[in-house]
Amino acid sequence: MEVEMKIRGLMLDPVTNTPIVILRDSGDTVLPIWVGVYEANAIALEIEKVSTPRPMTHDLIKNVLAGLDAHVHKIVVTELKEDTFYAVIWMEREGRIISVDSRPSDALALALRVDCPIFVEEEVLKTSKKASGSAEASSEEMRKFLENLGDEDLGRWKM
């Protein structure tokens, strides 16, 4: 089963300084996904509605899909294997449903640009909680910190 989530914001992992995209459902479920700096920047630009003088990669993908008359229906974070998340972009063109394998960071950046829903497989949420629950205490503290984040904690992304 898929759970609809929204991007709550971006933050830096206080230990590794790696960007984290924070997804949250309508309740208290939070899913942090560690991403690269460039992908975080692409997400941040769209969150903050910053326009660039030339199309960025995800803008190009959006434009290509529009030119092909393809409509993105949703993106789904489908798996978590060996600390790596996997995602699928679901789209339709000429009545045909197409699924495209993607890194979650790219799928999320595209979802923001085409304004489509973001889903996470329930099993990914369970696996993610088990992984953070079975690790050392610092991971448990991080999980609790992320679950208790308020809007004021998710400030503007700074490069």
Q: Which residue has the tokens 């960025």?
A: 56
Task: Tell me whether residue 124 is in a domain.
Answer: yes
Task: Tell me whether residue 103 is in a domain.
Answer: yes
Q: What is the CATH number of the domain that holds 46?
A: 3.10.690.10
The confidence score (pLDDT) of residue 145 equals: 63
Task: Tell me whether residue 79 is in a domain.
Answer: yes
Task: Tell me whether residue 158 is in a domain.
Answer: no
Question: Which structure tokens are listed for 81?
Answer: 């294997």
What b-and-e string marks burial along 96-124, b requiring 16 or more CB atoms within 10 Å of the CB? eeeeeebbbbbbbbbbbbbebebbbbeeb
Task: Tell me whether residue 7 is in a domain.
Answer: yes
Structural domain boundaries enclosing 140: 2-153
What are the DSSP calls for 12-65, one per residue?
A: E-TTT--EEEEEE-SSS-EEEEE--HHHHHHHHHHHTT---SS--HHHHHHHHH
The confidence score (pLDDT) of residue 14 equals: 86
The confidence score (pLDDT) of residue 137 equals: 39
Contacts with 20 (C-beta within 8 Å, 6 or more apart), sequence order: 10, 11, 12, 13, 32, 33, 34, 35
The confidence score (pLDDT) of residue 154 equals: 56
Phi/psi of residue 75, each to 5°? -120, 150
The confidence score (pLDDT) of residue 149 equals: 63
The confidence score (pLDDT) of residue 20 equals: 95
Consecutive 10-residue runs of the chain (159 residues): their mean pLDDT? 96 91 93 95 94 94 97 98 96 98 98 98 89 46 61 51
The confidence score (pLDDT) of residue 136 equals: 40
The confidence score (pLDDT) of residue 150 equals: 62
Q: What is the total count of domains within the chain?
A: 1
Task: Tell me whether residue 8 is in a domain.
Answer: yes
Task: Tell me whether residue 91 is in a domain.
Answer: yes
The confidence score (pLDDT) of residue 78 equals: 98
Task: Tell me whether residue 84 is in a domain.
Answer: yes
The confidence score (pLDDT) of residue 129 equals: 76
